[in-house]
Structure 1
Amino acid sequence: MVKPPDPDGGAAGKRTYAPDFLTELFQNPLDPGYADAAARRAKEGPRTGARRGLATGSAALTLVVIGFLLVFAYRQTVDEEPARTQARDALIAQVQTRRDGTERLRQQADRLADEVATLRDNELGGAAVARLRDLEAVTGVAKVRGSGARITLVDGPTSVNAVTGERRTEAQVKDTDLQLAANALWEAGAEAIMINGQRLTATSRIRQAGEAILVDIRPVGSPYEVVAIGPDDLADDFRDGYAGEFFETLSDRFGISFETAEAEDVTLEAAADFKLRSAEPSVAPSPSGSSKVSSGAGSPAPDSSVTEGGR
């Protein structure tokens, strides 16, 4: 037994201290519990066969119960799998059916639109048809073809905060970046613009929804391709202007990929689900009821404001 230290040193004429932890560990390496177990075994004697058999039987019963539970869980999983598979297949079939129905309706709408356009052209004169075609091209109602510029933006590498686990989105292209690109192209003389297949009109919206970017309520993702039809020097003017400098800064600071190139002989499809907001006759109605109608569309620039604020 280790004696407590003598504060006054009266026992041996000087102060004594208990050994430190490491010294005591080396002097008594055996845990006291082992010594107690050995003493109890020496007093009570070794285990009898009945006690050993009882312990073995308890262990075997425990293993049997665990095995039964595992088998029961496996059978439940196997029995429920066909039901889940059938429900999944039914949902997939339903989605495919709805998709096919939507495609048929879209094709029918396109055929009806072509019939309406044919009837309209037959009723209007040549000059009115040409003016209407120009208005349709400017407003995005009709598809256009020509040359211009192609702007490509790609998200940079996304990092994760090692402490909080939060994803950093500074290197992701934002809605304000696409707004900036579109407005700069309009200012440089673009006549028609399309972002990832979505044609911009006078009422287009470019908005952020979480980490997704919506162009007229349709999601677009990286890489973002902005194609514009306009003057021959459209790509150079964009690259040398304020928008080009802004994207070069984003590329250097956050790793966002930015590329500007000329677009030769590209076709921009008409805007989907474009609705006529207002219309007025260009001439007074005739007694027969026939009149010439012009589209009441405004500026081709999308209705969005852009600021070069922080990300």
Structure 2
Amino acid sequence: MSLLTNVMDHSLDDGYAEAAARKGTEEGGAGLPRTVRARLGLAAGLVLAGLVVTVGAAQARVAAPTVAKEREELIDRIQRETAAADKLESTVDTLRDDVSARQRAALKQNGGDDRADLVGILSGAVAVHGPGMKLVVNDAREASSGGNGNPRQTSGFSDTGRVRDRDMQRAVNGLWESGAEAIAINGQRLTALSAIRAAGDAILVDNRPLVPPYTVLAVGDGDRLSTRFQDSADGLYLHALRENYGIRTSISVEHDVRLPAAPSVIVRTAQPSTEKGTS
């Protein structure tokens, strides 16, 4: 009887009772199940994330008008400066034309009008037009600033079909040697003081950046100039670039080539004449 009484009074083993008590403690003093507490934590996290996004959106909305205003002010400033530069350039062109006219008039009085025209043409100080030729040089279709595939190695760096400043230097020098009387690249007139240089991947002519395709116009005897240039070492150099690296070139004879005056021609040394005419 004592055994049956003990079984009835202690229906659960002491180990089971201890495990049940431990589980209740882990579920929290508030009596909430673990899954409920996890859901509450997730909900709190979502609320916090939503609050952060809302605050960020509000701040962006507040800052948007300021950014838009600054952008509009920058655009207005660029437009004003561009208009001012265009106006100054127009004034320079007008003054240059006036100076050229006065020079021709003064030289004409002294019997030097023909010589003045020739000097103006050769120096690039006046606009010219006449027969000539057009040379167009452009990057290869697959040109890139780096990569693989038969690069030209010069001075430690490689070309992969890009036109370089040295290529344009050779083309221009070849045209001068072939009999060109005046040359311009992309509308930029060349003079005896012009420089063709590189700045990164850009080509500069008298410190003005040019972009491909590079159109070279040359005044001279078109047929003769074209033939002599293509047969020259520099013409053959361009032909090799086209064959080996895909650089695109084209040459055509033009009946009327028009070149502007060089914008940077200045008189570096001049002295007034002290000679007097004799009767």
Aligned counterpart, 2:12? none
**Structure with the higher fraction of residues in helix conformation:** 2
In the alignment, the residues of structure 2 paired with residue 204 and residue 114 of structure 1 have an alpha-carbon distance, to the nearest angstrom, of: 21
Query: How far did residue 248 of structure 1 move?
Result: 1.7
1:239 aligns with 2:230: yes
Aligned counterpart, 1:130? 114
Q: Within 5 A, what are the aligned runs for 1:1-311?
A: 49-125=32-108, 127-156=111-140, 157-159=142-144, 161=147, 169-232=159-222, 233-280=224-271, 284-286=274-276
In the alignment, the residues of structure 1 paired with residue 226 and residue 95 of structure 2 have an alpha-carbon distance, to the nearest angstrom, of: 38
Q: Secondary structure at the match of 1:153?
A: strand
Q: Secondary structure at the match of 2:47?
A: helix
The answer to whether the 8 A contact 2:133-2:252 is kept is yes
Change in 2 beyond 3 A, CA 1:113/1:272: closer
The answer to whether the 8 A contact 1:195-1:225 is kept is yes
The answer for unaligned runs of 5 or more in structure 2 is 1-18, 149-156
Query: How far did residue 109 of structure 1 move?
Result: 2.4
Query: How far did residue 119 of structure 1 move?
Result: 3.4
The answer to whether the 8 A contact 1:227-1:263 is kept is no
In the alignment, the residues of structure 1 paired with residue 143 and residue 96 of structure 2 have an alpha-carbon distance, to the nearest angstrom, of: 44
Aligned counterpart, 1:30? none
The answer to whether the 8 A contact 1:158-1:168 is kept is no
Q: Secondary structure at the match of 2:159?
A: coil
**Worse overlay, 57-66 or 223-232:** 223-232
The answer to whether the 8 A contact 2:139-2:163 is kept is yes
In the alignment, the residues of structure 2 paired with residue 142 and residue 175 of structure 1 have an alpha-carbon distance, to the nearest angstrom, of: 26
In the alignment, the residues of structure 2 paired with residue 183 and residue 122 of structure 1 have an alpha-carbon distance, to the nearest angstrom, of: 33
* Matching residue's letter, 1:237: R
Query: How far did residue 231 of structure 1 move?
Result: 1.9
TM-score, with structure 1 as normaliser: 0.71
The answer to whether the 8 A contact 2:181-2:220 is kept is yes
Query: How far did residue 284 of structure 1 move?
Result: 4.1
Change in 2 beyond 3 A, CA 1:119/1:184: closer
In the alignment, the residues of structure 2 paired with residue 116 and residue 138 of structure 1 have an alpha-carbon distance, to the nearest angstrom, of: 17
Change in 2 beyond 3 A, CA 1:112/1:244: closer
Query: How far did residue 107 of structure 1 move?
Result: 2.0
* Matching residue's letter, 2:117: R
The answer to whether the 8 A contact 2:147-2:160 is kept is no
The answer for unaligned runs of 5 or more in structure 1 is 1-39, 288-311
Change in 2 beyond 3 A, CA 1:202/1:91: same
Change in 2 beyond 3 A, CA 1:105/1:249: same
CA deviations 1:243-294 (Å, max 9, x no partner) are 222112111221110111112201100001222222356x64339xxxxxxx
Query: How far did residue 196 of structure 1 move?
Result: 0.7
Q: How many residues align?
A: 242
In the alignment, the residues of structure 2 paired with residue 274 and residue 122 of structure 1 have an alpha-carbon distance, to the nearest angstrom, of: 19
What is the aligned-residue identity percentage?
A: 33
In the alignment, the residues of structure 1 paired with residue 103 and residue 166 of structure 2 have an alpha-carbon distance, to the nearest angstrom, of: 39
**Worse overlay, 112-121 or 260-269:** 112-121
Change in 2 beyond 3 A, CA 1:194/1:91: same
In the alignment, the residues of structure 2 paired with residue 136 and residue 143 of structure 1 have an alpha-carbon distance, to the nearest angstrom, of: 9
TM-score, with structure 2 as normaliser: 0.79
**What's the RMSD between the two structures over aligned residues?**
2.6
